[in-house]
Structure 1
Amino acid sequence: MKDAHSLHYIDVRHLRVGMHVHLDVGWIDHPFALSSFRIASPEQIATIRSLGLTQVRWEPLRSDPAAVEAYEAEVSGGEPPQPTQPAAPVDAAAQAEQEARRRRRELLAAQQASLMQCERELMQAQRSYKQLVDQVHTEPQSAREKSEALIHGFRDKICGTHETCIRLLTEVAGDRASFHSLNVTVISMLLGKAVGLTPEELQDLGLGALLHDIGKIDLPDRVRWKDEHFTLAELQFYQEHVAHGVSIARKMQLSPTAALVIGQHHEHADGSGFPLRLAGERILVAARIVALVNRYDNLCNPQNPAKAMTPHEALSLMFAQMKSRFDGTILSAFIKMMGVYPPGSVVQLTDDRYAMVVSVNAARPLKPRVIVHDPRVPRDEALLVDLEDHTDLGVRRSLKPLQLPRESLEYLSPRQRICYFFERAREARLED
């Protein structure tokens, strides 16, 4: 046996209840109260495995002796300690049911851990955004540094070794401005990667997306969000947020590309935008991306929630009636990335069950992950279903939330506000 007083690395596949482990990741990267603790349940093991670690450190001296002895027997090729009393006859059916329940608990724990991780990172990003907005006039350099750090973290996520997809999050408290800016940033950077931008170009794109509406802080509240009932004077007042944003970008000493994104995020490919009515190639690629994503998010999350479109409706409208406003190549890449049924869409499956799309991987746009209304399963215990794992199951049609039966509406609880964040694509498929 190894020295019990030292720390050793152990493959996460060999973790056991009773082992004392140390997680070598930041506190924001795991859902546990502490980074060093004794494993108390199979669910905690499943959560650790869901973090993407291949090994963790463990401390035999502070572990349950039975767990240490069982592990040593396993790795040495021997048999784990046997009970002193003869085991009762095994009921095969009961054993299979117990194993199925254990597997379900593990999957549910991993699913919840992944969601919690996304939500914690979003809330941290929101706090950072609010801090930098408060500093843009008084400490512009500090605001720039906070912006760059936040975007650098996002860039590392999408340029890392793991495949990244888009995850729908639950509604969390916060103001519309910060969530809109973060939504636009997340989707713009993923879209930028999809169209082949370099890491350096993604950094500038992210900065421009994050700060595209920064000029609105110099406007009165009543004209910060475009309204169809604006007078001409109010509309002109609203459009001035672009010039204010460029001025702030100069004070922050942002890169020329990031500043151009702020200045061009309302320009349209057909020349119908503002403030300069630029068209086609005269608009920066990064600005074309932000203009498209900005429009999508405003359709899904308008000032008046009663006018909100479902993600599927917004995508369909942009393709059918607004195609001329956007770069064709970027629009096609956007539709492929978001999927025909973007996260947040309410759908009916081919077996007539109702579901809500929660995650989409660009490599599988027609086969998203969904939460399915199953009256036999409590909503907080519902497992996500990956439609790619079910060749005989797909999406029949998209629905408005009010088209759902009352029971399905209450179970699925479609979001009033669509909120997205990065999620690492799974390395292993969830079983049905």
Structure 2
Amino acid sequence: MNSPIPIKVDELRLGMFIQLPLSWLQHPFPTSSFRITSGEQIGLLRSLGLSTLHYIPAKSVPEAQVTEGDSDPQPPQALQPKNESGTQADDTQARDTSSCHARYQHASLTYGQIMADASRQPLGARAVAQALVHECMAELEDRDSCAIRLLADCHVDGTAAHAVNVMVLALLLGRSLGLHEQRLAELGLAALLHDIGKSALPRHVAEPGAPLAGAELQRYRAHVGESVALGQRMELPSDVLIAIAQHHEAADGSGHPLQLLAEDLGQGGQIVALINAYDRLCNPLFGMPPLTPHEAVSELYAHRAARFDSGILAAFIRLMGVYPPGSLVQLLDGRYALVTRVHPAQPLRPMVKLPAAPGEAFTLDLAQEGAPAIRRSVRPSQVPPEILDQLQPGSRICYYFERVAAPPEKDGAP
């Protein structure tokens, strides 16, 4: 029988091919239709809060023919990073994080220099900006696999942090889209300098901590034109200037300042606009409450998809994962965790930070055998305060990239 049949969640068994009545971002599985191969999957399905779903008998197999694909989660104390002691793994993570912090701090300080010099020494500021972008591109060269790393306690200027975040994610997204070197360099430059015109604005207008109105709101929106004008003085390439000019436009015509439509937008402008929107959901202006990275991705996918190119949006979601770094999650075993690193090849099995002894925490790679899966995303208000203090998610989301080993192929993989 090929027709779907309703079934109660409590009646699920191994071998059933099921269909979920949920969008991709509302559940932790790679697809919404699949055959159940493990008890862990059944546990996750029951945790979704559904009373019934559908299964297709024709695509199902008897339970006796199913080999458990995943073992049940082990108790928390049994979980240690594979082939390493907890101390060794945490030391490695600490070194990697320290290196990312240093590179991020360097990029942020360099951006501050560019902002200070752009008006009086525009060509010198352009040279510094180009050198920074090429430094980042050089770090990406010969790296078959890069993961996105969360940087907590990132005490840098908000304007600089935003610029570096957008540049880092734009370079990674452009790389995943297959942009050649020159186009990638121009994308990185536009991403870094998209708000350069804010250097002429008062601090309370450039980085407003409360809603603006009237003349001040118009002055804030004028930063797009100011950025283009300053970019012209810096003699930036035309494609860079176009991307800067379009970083607040939207494919459905709802953006500003020109209300352009999709056919009028360049790829660079659409990429910068998407990443700018994502970072402003996580690190908002105008006194708006921040969204968690998971909520931000969900908002873009579920409510703002018409504003962006569908292919670029899909590539961005693949890059960030369902639970981007900085997301607070609850695991299947009930523990709360902070996502600290996402490997594009295993978006549902990120690296997380877990509470240990009071005042301490340790990292765990959820891709390792026996590690629990993620049950759901949670907001900070849903996490017990003493656990939240140990996880220390930070008030600002900052990202950098690091080289990671490609995950081993599973037996039978092509």
For normalisation by structure 1, the TM-score amounts to: 0.72
> How far apart in 2 are the matches of 1:219 and 1:127?
19
- Using the TM superposition, give the Cα deviation of residue 400 of structure 1 relative to its aligned residue in structure 2, in angstroms: 0.6
Q: Paired residue for 2:360?
A: 379
Partners of 2:116 and 2:384 in 1: how far apart? 45
Q: Which of 384, 392, 401 is matched with 1:413 structurally? A: 392
How far off is 1:228 after superposition? 7.6
- Aligned pairs for 1:58-77 (under 5 A) are none
Contact 1:369 1:385 in 2 (8 A): yes
Decide which structure has greater helix share.
1
Change (3 A) 1:396 1:130: same
How far apart are 1:220 and its partner, in Å? Answer: 2.5
Deviation, 1:235, is: 2.4
d(CA) in 2 for partners of 1:175 and 1:333? 29
Aligned to 2:314, which of 332, 339, 345?
332
Higher mean C-alpha deviation, range 306-315 or range 141-150: 306-315
Determine which of 181, 193, 200 is the counterpart of 1:218: 200
CA drift at 1:153: 1.0
Report what 2:127 is aligned to.
145
User: Aligned to 2:352, what secondary structure does the other structure show?
Assistant: strand
Matched, 1:355 2:334: no
Q: Return the alpha-carbon distance in structure 1 between the equivalents of residues 213 and 359 of structure 2.
A: 50
Counterpart mapping for 1:249-288 below 5 A: 249-288=231-270
Counterpart Cα distance in 1 of 2:108 and 2:139: 17
Match of residue 380, structure 2, among 398, 401, 416: 401
SS of the aligned residue for 2:367 comes to helix
User: CA contact under 8 A between 1:157 and 1:164: conserved in structure 2?
Assistant: no
Give me the whole-angstrom Cα distance separating, in 2, the residues matched to 1:226 and 1:275.
19
Q: Kindly state the Cα deviation for residue 423 of structure 1 after the two structures are TM-superposed.
A: 1.1
Deviates more, 1:104-113 or 1:397-406: 104-113
- Residue 293 of structure 1 is matched in structure 2 by 275
Summarize the Cα distance change of 1:427–1:328 in structure 2 as closer, same or farther, 3 Å threshold: closer
**Preserved CA contact (<8 Å) 1:183 1:420:** yes
Change (3 A) 1:305 1:419: farther
Deviation of the 1:227 alpha carbon:
7.3
- Which piece of structure 1 moves more, 180-189 or 304-313? 304-313
> 2:157 is matched with which residue: 158, 175, 179?
175
CA deviation string 1:176-230 (max 9, x = no partner): 0000000111111111111221121110000000000001112223322467843
Whether the aligned pair in 2 keeps the contact of 1:305 and 1:416 (CA below 8 Å) is no
- 1:101–1:386 CA distance, 2 compared to 1 (3 A): closer
Partner Cα distance (2:145, 2:350) in 1: 15
- Per the alignment, residue 175 of structure 2 pairs with 193
Q: What is the CA–CA distance in structure 2 between the aligned matches of 1:101 and 1:330, rounded to whole Å?
A: 37
Matches within 5 A, 1:239-258: 239-258=221-240
Deviations along 1:238-270, whole A, 9 cap, x unmatched? 111111111111111111111111111011010
The structure with higher relative contact order (CA 8 Å, sep 6+) is 2
Q: Among 388, 398, 401, which residue is 1:422 paired with?
A: 401
Q: How much has 1:165 moved relative to structure 2? A: 1.2
Question: What amino acid maps onto 1:379 in structure 2?
Answer: E
In structure 1, the residue matched to 2:367 is: 388
| Distance in 1 between residues matched to 2:344 and 2:140, nearest whole Å | 13
Indicate conservation of the 8 Å contact 2:208/2:287, yes or no.
no
Give the SS at the match of 2:152: coil
TM-score by length of 2: 0.75
Q: 1:306 to 1:115 in 2, by over 3 A?
A: same
Overall identity of the aligned pairs, in %: 40
How many residues end up aligned between the 2 structures?
Answer: 327
Deviations, residues 312-357 of structure 1 (Å, cap 9, x unaligned): 1111111111111111111111111111001000000011111110
Residue 385 of structure 1: SS of its match in structure 2?
A: strand
For 1:254 and 1:379, locate their aligned partners in 2 and report how far apart those are by CA, in whole Å. Answer: 48
The alignment partner of 2:375 has SS state of strand
Query: How far apart, CA to CA, are the structure 2 residues paired with 1:414 and 1:229?
Result: 25
Contact between 2:345 and 2:407, CA under 8 Å: does it hold in 1?
Answer: no
Residue 271 of structure 1 deviates from its aligned partner by 1.0
Q: 1:231 maps to what in 2?
A: 213
Distance 1:123 1:228, change over 3 A: closer
CA contact (8 A) 2:322 2:348 kept: yes
* Root mean square deviation of aligned Cα: 2.1
Distance 1:211 1:101, change over 3 A: closer
Counterparts of 1:332 and 1:427, CA distance in 2: 22
Alpha-carbon deviation of 1:309? 0.8
